[in-house]
Structure 1
Amino acid sequence: MLVTAQNAVNNKRKDKEVVLVAGTSSSKTGKKNKKSKKGSVPQQSTGVSKNKGKAKVAADKGTCFHCGKNGHWKRNCQQYLVSLKANKEKKPLEGMSISCYVGSNGSYSSSTAWVRDTGASSHVCTSIQGLASSRVLGRNEVCLKIGNRASVAAKAVGSTSLHLDGHVLFIDRVLVLPNAYRNIISVSSLTRSGYLFDFKHDVCNIYYGNKVIGVGYLHDGLYYLRARNKTIPNTIEINTVSESIPSLKQLWHLRLGNVADDRISKLEKMGLIIPLGSEPNSTCESCFQGKMTRTPFVGQMERAKEVLELIHSDVCGPFSEMARGGYSYFIIFTDDYSRFGYVYLMKYKHESFEKFKEFKAEVEKQKGNSIKTLRSDRGGEYMSTEFGDFLKEHGIVSQFTLPGTPQLNGVSERRNRTLLDMVRLMMSYTDLPISMWGYALQTACYLLNRIPSKSVSTTPYEIWNGRTPSLKHVKIWGCPTFIKKQKTDKLETRSEKGRFVGYPSDSLGYYFYFPTEQRVVIS
């Protein structure tokens, strides 16, 4: 009896299945079985034969639930099979579970830094900007598991290229999560692609083969990678301030007024700055634009044997745009032995004589020595009777270059060119008015005295003052900063935003410029 009753139930299921597929009036069969008296058993052979016949009809004349056409079922539909195959190829991305560190917007974050995470199974970034081949994900298409076991949906997926120090790291399948603390690089994903990670103390090196392609530095328990998105336009351009994280060597390149790499290397060897690594500095487009010159004049001049034995001087100007304070000229004085230089801004060219007397009084008092020779071109400011009589009175020999040969006054010509190169480059990184070129010029002279030169074995500052200079206080010219107000009310803000524009020679501190008020203060 139990076997017979089970067979009856199976037949009833088959009848209903045939009715749903075929969609014919055979539903009456189901009604008859439903009305059968309790305990009665329908004939099995009759039910099976009828169902087989109706199933054949459904296969020949049925309607596909996927494409809507007659003559086949959904499971045999070619369109359905193609779409099913395509969905299976996407399946590794769908439903993915990623473990990463995600937090609220109110916490400390850095949307441009990239952090290496050994616990994350996929790369994560905070913005879709900079991603190549990106696509927006559907709702809950990809969910990420975070530290509190909650699930957060990713907004998009794409790929990006991180520009490292001389190398490019391509990262595929990067998920966009706007609420992430930081951009995350999955260590496990990169190791599957052949990359190796070496963690030592506060440094993590990325290897591909036997070559180091990137370095991360430990900060607040996380290894930060110095990189920027290659697909994003270079953030270090004219009239823009860089917001990305430059390499250490590039950072010092900017701090020191775009000086050459060999000078920075000398500072490393002298221990004045921290080691910056062996990677060459990235090509600086502004250096090519601002420093292009002709082939130099070939020749040698006899060098001085002591400080103040020979002073080089030259006047430059007038400039089309006056500097702040009404200055249109500047005059330089450079010591031949140490290459230590002074620069003075002037409103008029005839002020050269007064500036020389000011320079002479200061340096002779400080050095305990007298100027012996002054070398200059044949400009009218140096050949005046007043200037000549003053030099004779103090026993200073006047040397003039030959007409048409400015190369014979090469030290001054080279110093002028270097100073103006640095001024152009420093101002190209900011949106400060061109009238601030006077502060940029004085800053350039300040830096040149503290960095190595090809003409001397060490820095001009060390030869001139007898001690090693310090570069711990050096800043990027024009960088934004906040300065504490001297006097504030209880309800007012305690700081105001300004720009760093120089180093005062007569006091400690910095020069700061406030664009809205157009004033310069020392703080």
Structure 2
Amino acid sequence: VFRSLSITRTIFVLRVSKEKAKEHLIHQSQFQIQGRDMDLYGPMGIASINGKRYILVIVDDYSRYTWVHFLRSKDEAPAVIITFLKRITILLQSPVIIIRTNNGTEFKNQVLKIYFDSVGISHQLSSVRTPQQNGVVERQNRTLVEAARTMLIFSRAPLFLWAEAIATACFTQNHSIIHRQFNKTPYELINGRKLDISFLHVFGALCYPKNDHEDIGKLGA
């Protein structure tokens, strides 16, 4: 389904100033291209319930679909990124062509360079102290963190559930925010169909876990 989408290749010239980096469109062509913007947020002041302190955020250029991965340390980033790229290439049947990141060592290292070179991925690095050049994922970082903070405050949930709140915010946005150009959600654009989300509940709603162990009997569940 994703291969049938007509994706416009966009090349930008970046003019950098101390106040703002302005993007000027200089060329468009009708080649199918897959770009991913990545950023690592953290460390969080409180570890998650699973001991994670960093958030790896990945945004698809075309659909704005977002993936989040939670890490214990920056050192985990290269392995997580490589695994993600392999899986997403198979899942969407479309190769990733461009990766955009800042100059952090979690992205600019020999492990990722060797992998990118082996599969033909172009790694584009933003200029030092110019986060505007990686603005899409930077804004998404702030949006997810602010949404998670609001959800935790409203639900009065403990702060160590921040990872669950961010994952929920990411899922909700992928299935509800409408892309202005296409009038579809990121999920629809990347999968070609809508997903029934009637199962969603307010974050922090009361729930009862079901014990489905085989040895408790039918009435004990």
Partners of 2:43 and 2:82 in 1: how far apart? 21
CA distance in 2, matches of 1:322, 1:301: 41
- Hey, what does 1:462 align to over in structure 2? 188
Post-superposition offset of 1:394: 1.1
The Cα shift of 1:468 comes to: 1.5
AA matched with 2:204: G
Q: Which SS does the other structure have where 1:450 is aligned?
A: helix
Superposed displacement of residue 305, structure 1: 6.6
1:91-490 to structure 2, matched below 5 A, reads 299-300=22-23, 309-454=34-179, 456-457=181-182, 458-486=184-212
Distance of 1:479 and 1:451 partners within structure 2: 20
Matched residues in 2 for 1:367 and 1:307: separation? 13
* Distance apart, 1:486 and its partner CA: 3.0
* Superposed displacement of residue 301, structure 1: 6.3
Counterparts of 1:314 and 1:335 in 2: how far apart (Å)?
12
Judged with a 3 Å threshold, the aligned counterparts in structure 2 of structure 1 residues 321 and 301 are, in CA distance, closer, same or farther, namely: farther
How far apart, in 2, do the equivalents of 1:482 and 1:298 lie?
50
Distance 1:301 1:445, change over 3 A: farther
The secondary structure found in structure 2 opposite 1:439 is helix
Query: How many residues in Structure 1 have an aligned counterpart in Structure 2?
Result: 198
More helix by share: 2
Structure 1: how far apart are the matches of 2:46 and 2:123? 32
- Give the drift of 1:456: 4.4
Shift in alpha-carbon separation, 1:301–1:449, aligned structure 2, 3 A = farther
Q: What amino acid is the match of 1:426?
A: M
In 1, are the aligned partners of 2:63 and 2:179 still within 8 Å (CA)?
A: no
Q: Is the Cα contact below 8 Å between 1:339 and 1:456 reproduced in 2?
A: no
| Superposed CA RMSD | 2.6
1-structure distance, mates of 2:43, 2:92: 32
Shift of 1:474: 1.3
Residues 258-278 of structure 1: CA deviation (Å, up to 9, x unaligned) = xxxxxxxxxxxxxxxxxxxxx
Q: Give 1:348 shift.
A: 0.8
Q: SS at the partner of 1:321?
A: coil
Residue 9 (structure 2) aligns with: none
Residues 322 and 455 (structure 1 numbering): CA distance in 2 closer, same or farther, change over 3 Å?
farther
How far 1:355 moved relative to its partner? Answer: 0.9
Describe the shift of the 1:365–1:406 C-alpha distance in structure 2 as closer, same or farther (beyond 3 A). same
- Write the distance in 2 (CA, Å) between the matches of 1:447 and 1:307: 28
Q: 1:452 to 1:432 in 2, by over 3 A?
A: closer
In structure 2, what is the Cα distance between the partners aligned to 1:327 and 1:304? 41
Equivalents in 1 of 2:29, 2:83: separation in Å? 22
**How much identity, in percent, do the aligned residues show?**
26
Cα–Cα, structure 1 residues 304 and 409, in superposed 2: closer, same or farther, change >3 Å? farther
Shift of 1:308: 5.8
- Say whether the 8 Å CA contact 2:82–2:115 is kept in structure 1: no
Call closer, same or farther: CA 1:465–1:306 in 2, change over 3 Å. farther
Q: Which whole-Å deviations, capped at 9, do the CAs of 1:40-73 have from their partners, x for residues lacking one?
A: xxxxxxxxxxxxxxxxxxxxxxxxxxxxxxxxxx
Which consecutive unaligned segments of at least 5 residues does structure 2 have? 1-18
Secondary structure at the aligned position of 1:375 is classed as strand
Give CA-to-partner distance per residue, 1:330-383, whole Å, 9 cap, x none: 111111001111111101101111111111111100111111000001111111
Give 1:453 deviation, angstroms. Answer: 4.0
Q: CA deviation at 1:482?
A: 3.0
The AA in structure 2 aligned to 1:400 is: L
SS in structure 1 of the partner of residue 90 of structure 2: helix
Q: Given the superposition, is the C-alpha separation of residues 307 and 319 from structure 1 closer, same or farther in structure 2, using an over 3 Å criterion? A: farther
- Secondary structure at 1:486's aligned position in 2? coil
For 1:408, give the aligned amino acid. Q
Quote the offset at 1:454 in angstroms. 4.8
Structure 2-normalised TM-score? 0.81
Q: Quick one: structure 1 residues 350 and 373, their matched pair in 2 at CA, closer, same or farther if it must change by over 3 Å?
A: same
Aligned in 2, Cα 1:370/1:317: closer, same or farther, shift over 3 Å? same
The structure with higher relative contact order (CA 8 Å, sep 6+) is 2
- SS at structure 2 position matched to 1:326: coil
